[in-house]
Structure 1
Amino acid sequence: MKANRMEAFSDGVLAIIITIMVLEFKVPECHDWYALSKLGPKILSYIFSFVYVGIYWNNHHHLLHMVRTMNGRLMWLNLLLLFWLSLVPFTTAWMGESRFAATPTALYGIILLLAAFSYRLLQRAIIKQHSGDSSFVVAMGKDLKGKLSPLLYLIAVLTAYVSPWISGFFFVLVAIIWFVPDKRIEHVLKGH
């Protein structure tokens, strides 16, 4: 199997994840702005999750361009990442429905933390394929965003019980850090 088949499969799964999230919205019975404003927490949790899924899709796309040979390990690690991301619609809906109650917000952070670990495992497996390519290995070794994100997710999980808004701040912070795709891969690809 070529990496582009795994990428196409992953793209399809991520598209379904976004579709499931938007299908959680129920049309308000009333036809005024107040009725729509009652959906505020659901809309906010959807925006969080849409941005996160978009960030994963974008960086995943860049990462898979570095796959030299496809193997079972990469396919399973990719499935592990997709598994955690497939739980995002559930936690998004629960967090929005509960108006950012502590436990749903903490679970949302746990799912994002596990997705981050899974992405890192996939990234490390791809890096291992490049052990002879020092430019790629050196560029990927400086993964400050990848090392900082799990710590920020953990803080978000713990602060959910103090204030979901503090927790939300850390979710937004991680999203801001990753909003610009990982340029290290683009630089390596341009160098080859």
Structure 2
Amino acid sequence: MKANRMEAFSDGVLAIIITIMVLEFKVPEGHNWEALIGLGPKLLSYIFSFVYVGIYWNNHHHLLHMVRTMNGRLMWLNLLLLFWLSLVPFTTAWMGESHFAATPTALYGLILLLAAFSYWLLQRTISNQHAGDSSFVVALGKDWKGKLSPLLYLVAALSAYVSPWISGCFFVLVAVIWFVPDQRIANALRER
């Protein structure tokens, strides 16, 4: 199997994840702008999750361009990442429905933490295929965003019990850090 098949499968799963999230919105009973106010928490949690899934989709796309040979380990690690991301719609809905209550917000942070860890494992496995390619290994070695993000997710999950809004600030911070796509892989490809 080639990496493009895994990428196409992953793209499909991520598209379904986004679709499931938007289907959680129910049409409001009223017929005016005020009827939408009740959807505020759901909309905010959807925006968080849409941005996160978009960030994973973008970086996953770049990462898979570095796969030299496909193997079972890569496929299972990719599935592990997709598993954690597939739980994002559930936690998004719960967080929005509960108006950012502590436990749903903490679980959201834990799911994002586990997705980040899974992405790191996938990245490490692909990096091991490039042991002799110093430009790629050096580029991934400077992964300050990848090292900082899990820590921020953990702090967000724990701080949900102090204030879910503090957690939200950490979620926004991680999204802002990653909003500009990671250029390390693109740069390494250009150098080769």
Class of the TM-score when normalised by the shorter of the 2 chains? over 0.9
Q: What is residue 89 of structure 2 aligned with on the other side? A: 89
One-letter code aligned to 1:147: K
> C-alpha distance in 1, partners of 2:141/2:71?
22
Could you tell me how far apart the structure 1 residues matched to 2:187 and 2:78 are? 23
The reply on whether 1:61 has 2:61 as its aligned counterpart is yes
Aligned to 1:73: 73
Question: In the aligned structure 2, how far is the partner of 1:8 from the partner of 1:138?
Answer: 28
Query: After superposition, what is the alpha-carbon deviation per residue over 1:27-64, rounded to whole angstroms, capped at 9, x for unaligned?
Result: 00110111101100000000000000000000000000
Percent of pairs identical after alignment? 86
Partner Cα distance (2:157, 2:28) in 1: 31
Question: Aligned partners of 2:66 and 2:178: how far apart in 1?
Answer: 19
1:71 and 1:138 mapped to 2: Cα distance? 24
- With the length of structure 1 as denominator, give the TM-score of the two structures: 0.99
> Does residue 139 of structure 1 match 2:139?
yes
Distance, in Å, in 1 between the alignment partners of 2:90 and 2:182 is 27
Aligned residues: 192
CA deviations on 1:61-107 (whole Å, 9 max, x unpaired) are: 00000000000000000000000000000000000000000000000
Q: Where in structure 1 do 4 or more consecutive aligned residues deviate above 6 Å?
A: none
| Residue 112 (structure 2) aligns with | 112
Amino acid at match of 2:62: H
Question: Which residues of structure 2 form unaligned runs of 5+?
Answer: none
TM-score, normalised with respect to structure 2: 0.99
Q: Distance in 2 between matches of 1:13 and 1:91?
A: 17
CA RMSD of aligned residues (A): 0.4
> What pairs with 1:1-192 in structure 2 (closer than 5 Å)?
1-192=1-192
Give the Cα separation in 2 of the matches to 1:165 and 1:60.
29
Unaligned stretches of 5+ residues in structure 1: none
